Amino acid sequence: MSVDLKNTLVIGISSRSLFDLEGENRIFEEQGLDAYRAYQIDHEDVPPKQGTAFHLVEAILKLNQYREQGRPPLVEVIILSRNDAGMGLRIFNGIKSYGLDEHITRAAFVSGASLAPYLDAYSVDLFLSKSEQDVQEAVNAGVAAAVIQEPPEGYEPDRDVIRLAFDGDAVLFSDEAERVFQEVKARDGHEAAVQAFVDHERENAQKELPEGPFGKLLKTLAKMNGRFPPEERPVRIALVTARNAPAHERVIRTLRAWNVDVDEAFFLGGLPKAPVLQAFRTHLFFDDQPAHVDPASRTVPAGQVPYLKLTSSEQD
């Protein structure tokens, strides 16, 4: 019988994001594919350590306890890997060792080929990987995607609520305002760029911001939360942005136009994001700038969202 995932939140995840396989990856980089394959086969029954996105996957799969009888699952997690099927056996064994084998049953092992063509085939809404190339190709294909950073030491996730945090410009929203800032900064310096950004957003306060790479995902999460009473929502969403007043107004009006309620919003005006994210206890934070992602990743799981790269014909 055919399975339809169109009304399910589908997360595609690489094996290196779900599990900590950095030691294995070093074998691949230093000794080659044959040594890597031999290691994986020799260790098929040794469960990998939990990776950066493991806690998020474990938590979000629990949403399926709210699934109505006869309805598709609320969430589906699919392994998308450049490994071949033989090496994938260790991944499935690892999934089973952590008790997730009833929930994660689908995978694509493409033996080094590009994963981007299969994202639409699997109806993927969010793709998480440690491969910058794979994530860039996903973003170019119109899929929300992030490069997962190394797992922070001593991180303890919230066991009751799923907590997701998003930057605004170039993540939830387009990079329209960010481009204004960067163009003026390159020409006239930082202070002039800040003023140009503020002026641009004040002038366009009544104009809805265009949707960014994670806009659709935010709407999907908001729709999912809408199935529950406000006090019982299983996903808590935070906007964590370097904006402050008066640039806050356009953001709030845009979320209102999208019919999206975020649970917490932090307009930091240049203050560091990491302490707020740690206090929020986020399962995963998404931002486009390494200056925010790098310090955040030392305390909470984080992913960097690359910019859309246009082809030469699109740029023309």
| Per-residue tokens: 148 | 């997962």
- Distances, alpha carbon 230 to alpha carbons 222, 239, 262, in Å: 11, 18, 11
- Tell me which of 167, 169, 175, 288 is the catalytic residue: 167
| Per-residue tokens: 151 | 């797992």
Instruction: Give the residues across from 173 on adjacent strands.
Output: 169, 211
45 is catalytic: no
**Do 56 and 284 meet the contact criterion of CB atoms below 8 Å apart?**
yes
Closest listed residue to residue 174, CA positions, set 120, 244, 251, 236: 251
Please list, in sequence order, all residues whose beta carbon lies within 8 angstroms of the beta carbon of residue 178, skipping any fewer than 6 positions away.
169, 170, 288
Which sequence positions are flagged as catalytic?
167
